[in-house]
Chains A and B, each alone.
Chain A
Amino acid sequence: MSVSLRVLDDGAWVSVNDAREVSVSELWRLDDPSFCGCELPDFVVENVLDVGADGRTVSAKVYGQCIACGQTGVPGWVPVGRLREGEFVDIDRERVVLPVRRADDDE
């Protein structure tokens, strides 16, 4: 089943199968001390740059900042949801700690 993944509205949304699913202004806890030095960066999403799927995991590249220390930038790929039989299943992004796949983990 083909899944359509898109960044919409000039980076305001991740769209999956033509539905807006993940929005800027969410606050994520990232398991990525390398982003800013904070143990669990408290990260506000300001712009979605890219979206992709790796198996059943939908991940996004986003620009934003850690509201604890102010560091801005783009962490690695952050999982934002899963695909089940081609349907998007949300995860509670504002309440769980999200693992981050760094760019150099690619391949």
Chain B
Amino acid sequence: MPTDVERWKSEVYGNEIREHLLEFAEQGWDTIPEDERDAWFERFKWWGLYHQRNGQESYFMMRIGTPNGVLTPGQTEVVAEVADEYARGPAENPIFGNGYVDWTTRQSIQLHWIKLEDIPEIFDKLESVGLSTQQACGDSWRNIVGCPVAGKDKHEHVDALPVAMELNETFKGNDDHSNLPRKWKVSVTGCREGCGQGDINDLALEPATKEIDGEETKGFNIRIGGGLSRNEPRLARDIDVFVTPEQAPEVSGAISALFRENGDRDNRYNARIKFLMDEWGAEKFRNVLQEEYVDFELETAGDDLRSEYSYNSGYADGGHSDHVGIHEQADGNYYVGLDVLVGRMGVDDTKELARVADEYGSGEIRITQRQNVIITDVPEEKLDALQDEDLLDHYSPDPHPFMRGSIACTGTEFCSLSIVETKNRQVRYARWLKENVELPAGVEDFHIHLSGCTASCAQPQIADISLRGMKTRKDGEPVEALDIGLGGGLGENPNFAEWVTQRVPVDEVPGAIKNLLANFEERREGDETFREFVARTDEEDLAELVEPEETSYEDPMMHNTKRTWYPYADDDSLDASPAPTHGDGTPIASDD
């Protein structure tokens, strides 16, 4: 039997949602009939709007898709203005204030506390500079990710940016591909460092070279079926296909069509293409693709560059592990990668970012999959003055490893699936670790990723230390807790973290990391990295090295933060929620 979601999608989906959305915006949130709300909220996702969690009714998270993480000159300023004007909620976040921008792990942008009534104005503003929320969420082609310095990188194999942009043009708003069985995440990379993270996407185009008619041809190998969610992480599998940049849109469309026709629409837990890949295997997948979906003979895979991959790899092989820092571009200018702790930036800082990018670079900003931003096209002679800007004191190109390595998802602040508080907690952790823990000599990259549940939006399984939301009891009382996983990473031989220690009360996690690092230092051989150390150590021994412990770190959010309307409100109880509210923020009386 098709699911409710499939039924709702079969009634109205895709581009046509927009006119309904604008009409509801015109009439007000409370005119959406109560028994149709869930159906409409499901559909609104397709236009980038995600209804926030219980206690925050009538407020939306809004995702803006920025293909390959590129914000062209002028766009960042508009994002900041929109956030300033429309992304302010009824309560303040104690670390980030009110009005902020989230740079996400899929090179997109998220704003919170958006009112439906403001959508027409917001769309006008975004669209006036070519930004869009179309297909940012929902069951279709999501924001396409890739190497954020594509076209600028000195060492790249092919410039994949035109390919990513062409895929975006072709498959955004394309009625044939707008209603897929589930989300469709695509990565297109041409660099040598693997920063498109193709391994954890549904469809990955990765740099390769193939001899065709005696000629060395540059293009992409294709992998299918990666993803991290639901305790079922998968690495994308090699289907032994090479495409040229010219063939990429056609073959990508064929694969998307194969998914459309064969994905499981009866069970949303089984719908992602990774499960179809489990069922079919790579060989059958290739055969079906060739026989039923592509008109020409597919090439077999070419030589890839995977042995050079360094991004998020946990190996110190000389390549980049992220894009933080100052790096020369192919054209002799520089790009400057700034560390944004947990990816969240206040509106004033975002405005500053736009100004600084304009003044020193071309005005372009690029977003990375490590929740950071990059100012591109800075001439060498302007680098010193750029580094003197106050903005770079807070968003450093040379941050402490604990700051640099932190990623966190949305969590109980706004997300219905969450089990624990995430972003603010990760900020507290990073600050405490920086003050209290010495990293072993020479360790410059150390990644800690915190996700509030198994959906894994913060990509926890590919960090040195993986943290995942859980519950436990402490002194008999339920408290927020984290599972601790170790040793995950991408690179030539990607693997996911082992969850070695489970349900550690959140106030004992910093102590656990401290002890673990001390144990690592004691047992470290030569200058091996943490991931290498974990790889050669038994899982049972690892569990003993974690040693959770209370320290001077205190956690103000031990209680059930999900049982609040907003964890940081003075009165956080669900009964105290102002939501739902009218467009102007005044509560909608329940007898309205």
Contact = CB atoms under 8 A, between A and B. Distances in A.
B473 A15 contact: no
A47 B269 CA distance: 10
B537 to A, nearest CB: 21
Contacts of A87: none
The majority secondary structure among interface residues of chain B is mixed
Contact of B416 (A9, A27, A49): A9
Given A6-B4, A8-B38, A25-B562, A70 B417 contact: no
B515 interface: no
Contacts of A10: 268, 417, 455
A46 B37 contact: no
A42 to B, nearest CB: 7
A27 to B, nearest CB: 5
Contacts of A8: 38
Contacts of A6: 4, 38
Contact of B471 (A13, A18, A25, A70): A25
Contacts of A70: 502-503
B354 interface: no
Interface string A26-44: 0100000000000000101
B231 to A, nearest CB: 8
A11 interface: yes
Nearest to B455: A10
A6 B455 CA distance: 20
B54 A23 contact: yes
Nearest to A17: B35
Given A11-B269, A70-B502, A23 B416 contact: yes
A44 B471 contact: yes
Interface residues of B, number: 28
Contacts, number: 58
Interface residues of A, number: 24
B297 interface: no
Interface of B: 4, 34-35, 37-38, 54, 230-231, 268-269, 416-419, 453-455, 469-473, 478, 481, 502-503, 560, 562
User: Which of A20, A23, A25 has the most chain B CB atoms inside 10 A of its CB?
Assistant: A25
A24 B455 CA distance: 13
A27 B269 contact: no
Nearest to B452: A25
24 contacts: A6-B38, A9-B417, A10-B417, A10-B455, A11-B417, A12-B416, A18-B37, A18-B38, A23-B54, A24-B416, A24-B417, A24-B419, A25-B418, A42-B473, A44-B419, A44-B470, A46-B419, A46-B453, A46-B454, A49-B269, A67-B470, A70-B503, A72-B231, A94-B478
Nearest to A67: B472
Nearest to B503: A67
A9 B418 CA distance: 11
A79 to B, nearest CB: 20
Interface in A76-105: 94
The majority secondary structure among interface residues of chain A is strand
Contact of A25 (B37, B419, B472, B502): B419
B30 to A, nearest CB: 14
A29 to B, nearest CB: 11
Contacts of B453: 24-25, 46
Which 5 residue pairs are nearest across A and B when measured between Cβ atoms?
A12-B416, A25-B419, A44-B471, A12-B417, A9-B416
B7 to A, nearest CB: 11
Nearest to B51: A9
B385 to A, nearest CB: 48
A67 B471 contact: yes
Contacts of B269: 11, 49
Contacts of B560: 25
Contacts of A15: 38
Contacts of B503: 67, 70
B452 to A, nearest CB: 9
A13 B416 contact: yes
Contacts of A49: 269
A20 B54 contact: yes
Contacts of B481: 67
Contacts of A42: 473
A6 B39 CA distance: 11
A74 to B, nearest CB: 11
A28 to B, nearest CB: 11
A21 to B, nearest CB: 10
Nearest to A27: B478
B455 to A, nearest CB: 8
A76 to B, nearest CB: 18
A9 B472 CA distance: 24
B417 A27 contact: no
Nearest to B38: A8
Nearest to B417: A12
Given A4-B35, A67-B503, A70-B503, 15 more contacts: A6-B4, A9-B416, A9-B417, A10-B268, A20-B54, A23-B416, A25-B419, A25-B560, A42-B473, A44-B471, A47-B454, A49-B269, A67-B470, A70-B502, A94-B478
Contacts of A20: 54, 416
Nearest to B416: A12
Contacts of B417: 9-12, 24
A61 to B, nearest CB: 12
B34 A18 contact: yes
A85 B80 CA distance: 50
A73 B503 CA distance: 16
User: Which of B4, B416, B470, B562 has the most chain A CB atoms inside 10 A of its CB?
Assistant: B416
Nearest to A72: B231
Contacts of A24: 416-417, 419, 453
A49 B3 CA distance: 12
Contacts of A12: 416-417
A12 B452 CA distance: 13
Given A44-B471, A67-B470, A23 B35 contact: no
B60 to A, nearest CB: 13
Nearest to A7: B4
A66 to B, nearest CB: 10
